[in-house]
Structure 1
């Protein structure tokens, strides 16, 4: 009997694959990084706050979290306190929501100007997952997931998308809490143990581990394999193309005594 592809045994019991979006399916994390930098570089400089904003701040305080949680965490790192505000605040208002909305405007301007093309290896892995009979879903902290999927021409692959808007409507806490991933599994009619979580951020990997998911895969887009493993990933790859053969094996139903 020929040997199974590397990691195939880890996918045998997996009935669904739950994908993060930014940094996993699409390189939109780069657009987010630039949008956050434009927001907070000027914001901190105008107030004379040190240290100045750096890319490390994105990974330390913002990456993978809902937008307003990222604003709160960055401000707290500089001991800045502003009113919470509301989703109706004008973008750029000196509130948590106003700053988050300004960042969102920056993101959409970049997305409209440059567009987005999905990672080729991730698309291959997605298609292999579907062809193997597994269900798929997107679980993203972004409130723009549907727009990004449409821009990347991936919207027709997913009937379940749990994004920041869905999480708010359902009263679910964002990553690193596991609730949004658990909710996606429930919408597919499955348990966390039936599902694999695919993540590139520490907060998302932690969500997968805290939710007791059947498999947690880290995609190292620069965070570092050691850090993703420490956060709870079972497997770390640099490109999901590495797992195409593994996920191509059909799911195996668990044996019952």
Structure 2
């Protein structure tokens, strides 16, 4: 059905990098925040300033993860431990939450300045699913998910949204844990074995595999097809339009 096994009855999509062209914006916002922090740290203890890599560090430590988890994971990679802090920490406070809040302020400003565009191939695929009456959900770690969907003009194409707000309220573990995808499948009334997960993030692909989903589709926007397969993707496409054209390898 639409390029996937006939057993698939529901379709669960990550947001950034799968549906919308915002993954690069998030990577730039993480780099802006972490580079500022790392420069300050270098000044504090005299260690060399080593900048955040918007490709390697982003893909390995933060892409697809909840903001606080990504902040912690990257800091740990540099041997840095900070207090957790609280949700209302001022952006830039030397806490996990404060750094995450600074990143959020930056990404919202970037999105406002640049706007949000959906990938045309993804929009075409979503319309085919809707026309076929197949259930669809967005599963994102972002607390800004609904705003981004509205800005991209695709919010009405989904019956279920499980985002960072829902995950916090329901105490769902973030990707690479499968909890958010499993919650979306439950809300759609479909068993994981009959649902497909669409992800561009390595943590998200691992999440789909851990949840026992019937098909995990890796969306390769940045040339990491091998890594997506290694993390559990059943098939990898460059764009969802490939599935419509029957080009999935």
TM-score range, shorter chain: over 0.9
2:17 to 1, 23, 36: 23
**Aligned residue number for residue 182 of structure 1:** 182
Mapped contact 2:60–2:202 kept (Cα < 8 A): no
Q: Matched residues in 2 for 1:164 and 1:62: separation?
A: 14
Residue ranges of structure 1 left out of the alignment (5+ in a row): 247-257
Secondary structure of the 1:204 match is helix
Q: Is 1:149 equivalent to 2:149 in the alignment?
A: yes
Greater RCO between the two (CA within 8 Å, min separation 6)?
A: 1
Q: Matched residues in 1 for 2:204 and 2:129: separation?
A: 20
Shift of 1:92: 1.2
**Aligned residue number for residue 70 of structure 1:** 70
RMSD (Å), alpha carbons: 1.4
Mapped contact 1:14–1:134 kept (Cα < 8 A): no
Shift of 1:134: 0.9
TM-score using structure 2 length: 0.93
Q: Matched residues in 2 for 1:180 and 1:186: separation?
A: 10
Q: Matched residues in 1 for 2:205 and 2:82: separation?
A: 30
Secondary structure of the 1:57 match is helix
Mapped contact 2:205–2:232 kept (Cα < 8 A): yes
Shift of 1:112: 0.7
Q: Is 1:219 equivalent to 2:219 in the alignment?
A: yes
Mapped contact 2:176–2:203 kept (Cα < 8 A): yes
Shift of 1:13: 1.3
Shift of 1:71: 0.5
Residue ranges of structure 2 left out of the alignment (5+ in a row): none
TM-score using structure 1 length: 0.90
**Aligned residue number for residue 51 of structure 1:** 50
